[in-house]
Structure formats: structure tokens, C-alpha cells
Structure 1
Amino acid sequence: MAAVVLVHGLYHRPEHFALVAERLRIAGTEVLVPELHRGSLSADTAAVQAVIDSLPEPPTVLGHSYGGSVITGVRGAGHLVYLAAFVSDAGESAANLGGASLQLQDAIKPESDGSTSLHPDRAADVLYGGCPEPLAAWAVGLLRAQAPGCGRGIPEHHSWKHTSSTYIVCAQDLAIDPVLQRKMASRCTDVREWQTGHSPFVGQPDLVVGLLQELLAANTLRRPDEGVTRCVGTGDL
């Protein structure tokens, strides 16, 4: 059975992918959505790597936003999908690539334990702009506090240099500047642009489902570390 691994971003939970996961499973696709919030990029990456390693065949792995930093660090994916996500090179973190937009930064509030959370009303506009109001409210209700420092983590491996990849630019995104997205997209083997906000898996899940089914149907899955030639830094040798 074809498998898809969905990797959420900061402040999010696996449940945010529920609409996409349900549709894919009904169509016969195995879907795994690991929980992040392990305290660091390296720990989050290890959690996703464990899921990939549990599968008999290389899966399609989609990372959203910060989830792009996570999937950049894994091995064994058949195809990578970066959805408004960070594509890091050697020495780069999500933060020093450009990080959150000013609108998203304005939505972040510090908590007494050192974590941060999002103002619900601002999060609705920045993360779920364009989504139907009931869905946006549902998604905001799922958001959780975020441990500090994950966005400053630097991947130890750069999977996009060896694995075929698709970047989805969300052209109406208020959380990650679309100009930055297009710059990072140039590192991928295929680029699409959608006229959506930051989280189409909430407001337009069929777009995400259709893309993933297209990739699976086209048999774009490849064996890990084959089929893509990139300029490789010493950290990848």
C-alpha cells in the first residue's frame, strides 16, 4: 500500500491534517501523522525518521512550514513535498532563512514557562486566512504552546539534495513571505504555486489530497538517495 507521512509545523498538531488524512485513507492510502513537539529539531526529526523506518517502502513525506526543516533532515523518503515550508541548506535554520513574517511574530505571545503560544484572533487571520470561519475556529482551537528554539535548529542532513521534491508556494501566505518561499522553492525539483493562505490543508484539503494522489499515481516515488543530483556540501558526504 502506498504511504504518505504528513509533518505539521510549529504550534500545530497531527489533528490539523485530519481532513487530508481522512480523504487519503478512504482512497486506500496509508497515512501516518507523527506528533512533533519533542523539544528540539533533532528530536522532532528523529520522531519522523522512526515513522519512515517503520514502513516497508519509501513514503511520500510532506512537511508544512517548520515541518520542512524536519523533513529536510530525514533519510529514506521516496518523494518530499514542501508546503509553504523551510528548505534548509548547510548551516541554515528556519529562523535565519527568514522565519516568521511580521504578522506571525505579532501573533506570538510568551508564556511564563518559557514557551510561546499564539493569540487566537491573530492566529486565525495569519494562519487560516481564506478558510471558512468554522474551519478556522476549529484549527485555532487545536493550536498548542510551542517550546523555544525549534525554529533555530539546523538540520544535520539535507534530503532535498538527493531525493526528488515538490515545493508548493502559497501565494497569499501571511505567515511565511511568498517571496521567501519562491527562493527556497528553487532548491526543489518541481514547483507549484497555489493562490491560498498558509494552511490549505484546513481550508482547501482537496488541493493537498489531489497533489499527493497525483504524485503517487505518477509513480514519482524513488528509492532513497537516488535519482536526484545536487551540489552536495561536506556535511552530506
Structure 2
Amino acid sequence: MAAVVLVHGLYHRPEHFAVPAQRLRTAGVEVVVPELHRGSLPADTHAVQAAVDALPEPPLVLGHSYGGSVITGVRGAGHLVYLAAFVPDTGESAAGLGGASRQLRDAIVPEPDGATSLHPDLAIDTLYGDCPEPLATRAVGLLRAQAPGCGRGVPEHHSWKHAPSTYVVCAQDRAIDPGVQRKMARRCTHVREWRTGHSPFVAQPDLIVDLLLELLPTLGDGLRIIQGLGVSEP
């Protein structure tokens, strides 16, 4: 069975991917959505690596926003999809690549324990401004506090150098500068551009589903590329 691993970003939860995940499962695709918020980029990467390793064949792995840093460090993907996501190179972190809008920075609220959260009224416009009202309200309600430092983590491995990748630029994004997205997209094998905000998995989940169903038949090509490069991808 074809498999997809969906990796959420900062402040988000697996439940944010509930609609596209269910539609993919209805289409016969195995879908895994790991929970991040493990306290650091290495810990988050380990959680996703465990999900990938548990699958019998190299899966398609999608990372949203900070999730791009996470999937960059994961080995064994047949194809990578970066959705308005960070694509760090050697020595780079999501924070170092920049791109977070002033609107997003203004929405961040420091918590007493050093964590941060997002102000609901500001988050709804920044992350879900193009989403129907009931869906946007639900998505904001799912947001959780984020431990400090994850965005400053540096991946130890750079999977986009060894596996095919597709970058999706969200051209109406109010959280991550679309211009920065386009620059990072140059590191990927293929580039798509959607006229959506930061969270198309909430606003237009069929875009996600259709793209992944289109890419799933190419997973064998990714495995042949990995083998041809002589890269060990457990």
C-alpha cells in the first residue's frame, strides 16, 4: 500500500491534517501523522524517522512550515513535499533562513515557562485568513504552545540532496514570506505555486490530496535515485 507521512509545523497538531488524511485513506493510501512538540528539532526528527522506518516502503513525506526542517533531517523518504516550508542546507536553521512575517511575529505571545503561543485573534488572520470562518475558528482552537528553540535547530542530514522533492509556494501566505519560499524552492526538484494562504490543508484540502495522489506513483523513481547515488537510506 502506498504511504504518506504528514508533518505539521510549529504550534500545530496532527489534527490540523485530519481532512486531507481522511480523504487519502478513503483513496486507499496509508497515512501517518506524527505528533511533534518533542522539545527540539532532533527529537521531532526522531519521531518522524520512527514513523518512516515503521513503513514497509519509502513513503511520500510532506512537511509544512517548520515541518520542512524536520523532514530535511529524515532518511528513507521516496519523495519530499515542502509546503510553505523551510529547506535548510548545511549549518542552516529555520530561524536563520528568515521569512517569518511581521504579522506572525506580532502574533507570538511569550509564556511564563519560556514557551510561546499564538494570540488567537492574530493567528486566525495570519495562518487561516483564506479559510471559511468555521474551519478557521476550529484550526485556531487546535493550536498549542511551542517549546523554545525548535526553530533554531540545524538538521544533521539533508534529505532533499538525495531524494526527489516538490516545493509548494503559497503565494498569499501571511506567515512565511512567499519571496523567501521561492528562494528555498530552488533547492527542490520541482516547484508548484498555489494562490493560497499558509494553511491549504484547512482552506483547500483537495489541493493537498490531489497533489499527493499525483506524486505517489513516482515513489519508485525516488528509490531508484537513492540507490543510484549509493546513499544509505535505512
Compute the TM-score of the two structures, normalised by the length of structure 1. Answer: 0.94
Gaps of 5+ in 1: 230-237
Q: Output the CA distance in 1 between the equivalents of 2:128 and 2:9.
A: 13
CA distance in 2, matches of 1:126, 1:163: 32
CA distance in 1, matches of 2:11, 2:86: 15
1:67 corresponds to: 67
Letter in 1 for 2:194: W
In structure 2, what is the equivalent of residue 209 of structure 1? 209
Aligned to 1:39: 39
Amino acid in the other structure paired with 1:177 = D
2:193 match: 193
Distance 2:99 2:75 in 1: 24
**Structure 1 109/57 Cα, relative in aligned 2: closer, same or farther at 3 Å?**
same
Q: What is the CA RMSD across the aligned residues, in angstroms?
A: 1.4
Question: Structure 1 residue 223: deviation in Å?
Answer: 1.6
Partner Cα separation in structure 1 for residue 89 and residue 225 of structure 2? 16
Indicate whether 1:173 and 2:183 are aligned: no
Q: Going by fraction, where is helix more abundant, 1 or 2?
A: 2
Q: Tell me the distance in 2 between the aligned counterparts of 1:225 and 1:126.
A: 38
Q: Distance in 2 between matches of 1:156 and 1:54?
A: 21
- Equivalent residue for 1:88? 88
Question: Shift in Å at residue 227 of structure 1?
Answer: 7.0
Give, in whole Å, the separation in 2 of the partners of 1:14 and 1:110. 23
Q: TM-score, normalised by structure 2?
A: 0.95
What is the aligned length?
A: 229
2:50 match: 50
Aligned mates of 2:187, 2:227 — CA distance in 1 = 15
How far the C-alpha of 1:48 sits from its partner, in A, is 0.2
> Any idea what SS the aligned residue of 2:24 has?
helix
Change (3 A) 1:184 1:220: farther
Shift of the 122–34 alpha-carbon distance from structure 1 to 2, 3 Å rule, reads same
Q: In the aligned structure 2, how far is the partner of 1:28 from the partner of 1:129? A: 31
* C-alpha contact 1:80 1:160 (8 A) present in aligned 2: yes
Any gaps of 5 or more consecutive residues in structure 2? Answer: 230-234
Q: Percent identity?
A: 77
Q: Is the 8 A contact 2:99 2:180 kept in 1?
A: no
1:78 matched residue in structure 2: 78
Q: Is the 8 A contact 2:58 2:219 kept in 1?
A: no
Give CA deviations for 1:154-190 in whole Å, capped at 9, x if unaligned.
0000000010000000000010000000000000000
Per-residue deviation, residues 113-135 of structure 1 (Å, max 9, x unmatched): 11000000100000011100100
* Distance (Å, rounded) in 2 between the aligned partners of 1:228 and 1:215: 20
